[in-house]
Amino acid sequence: MHKIALITGASSGIGKATAEILAKNGYNVIISARRLERLIEIQKQLEEKYKVEVLPLKLDVRDRDAVEDYLSNLPDGWKEIDVLVNNAGLSKGLEKLQDGKIDNWEVMIDTNIKGLLYITRAILPSMIKRNSGTIVNISSIAGHETYPGGNVYCATKSAVLHLSKALRMDLVGTNIRVVSIDPGMVETEFSIVRFDGDKERAAKVYEGITPLTAEDVAEAVWFAISRPPHVTVEDMVLMPTQQASVLLTVKNYKKF
């Protein structure tokens, strides 16, 4: 019997690559995000390539009622989720806090913190009942450090680190594992979203440096999931070799 994984934010980047590595390893996957047309395309590709079942789920993680409704009414055969990857997340803007756009703060906090909580709360009771499961939260190096203009985004990713730690404590005595994967710079649609669709500005972020790929991160996620049940990878920081902190990269190290 195939195991089941739910990946949020699977329409792009790290989430899409994670859905692929799980499908490749025999998981039936629920791929969720807001852009359903992309999910349907990914469904076709994964089903054909890996002969597993893929369920596309149009879901905005900020919509508490929809999260509760969808996840408590999953179709037969999809109800018992073995692996949850809380990946949906984003950064909006790079303004200093004093110039910050409050609407952007709301979107980041609602998606990166509250969305992750809604999803986790909806999935956990079934994992606890079965006394098994793995939850992988995608945090960031930005959860460990901060940088000018990173303020609210970094705070949300720091919250993800603390929620992972707290959840491990709340689940002691169960067999449920909670993992945090914290990447440095990964070339995805992240910067395009951060800069409101400005592809030129986004491309500059990755010029002159070899960033991580979404697949690099997906492999780290799979490493954690595929450890034997008695092993929890609590927190893995994964950096490009050319980046030694959020601020220090091969592009600017000579200034220091």
List of residues contacting ligand NDP (CB under 6 A): 8-15, 33-35, 60-62, 87-90, 111, 115, 138, 140, 183, 185-186, 188-190, 193, 214
Nearest distance from C-beta of residue 184 to ligand 8X3, angstroms? 6
Q: Report how far residue 121's alpha carbon sits from residue 119's, in angstroms, rounded to the nearest whole number.
A: 6
Nearest distance from C-beta of residue 54 to ligand 8X3, angstroms? 27
Residues 177, 226: contact at Cβ < 8 Å?
Answer: no
Maximum C-alpha span of the chain: 58
Please identify every residue annotated as catalytic. Answer: 153, 157
Is residue 150 near ligand 8X3 by the rule CB under 6 A? yes
Residue with tokens 């992988």: 136
Is residue 202 near ligand 8X3 by the rule CB under 6 A? no
Is residue 112 near ligand 8X3 by the rule CB under 6 A? no
Residue nearer to ligand 8X3 on the CB measure, 36 or 90: 90
Looking at residues 227 to 256 of the shown chain, list those that interact with ligand 8X3 (rule: CB under 6 A). 246
32, β-bridge pairs: 8, 57
* 124-128 contact pairs (CB < 8 A, 24+): 124/176, 126/79, 126/80, 126/81, 127/81, 127/84, 127/174, 127/176, 128/171, 128/174, 128/176
Stretch that binds ligand 8X3, among 2-10, 65-73, 99-107, 137-145 (CB under 6 A): 137-145
Binding positions for ligand 8X3, rule: CB under 6 A: 140-142, 150, 185, 246
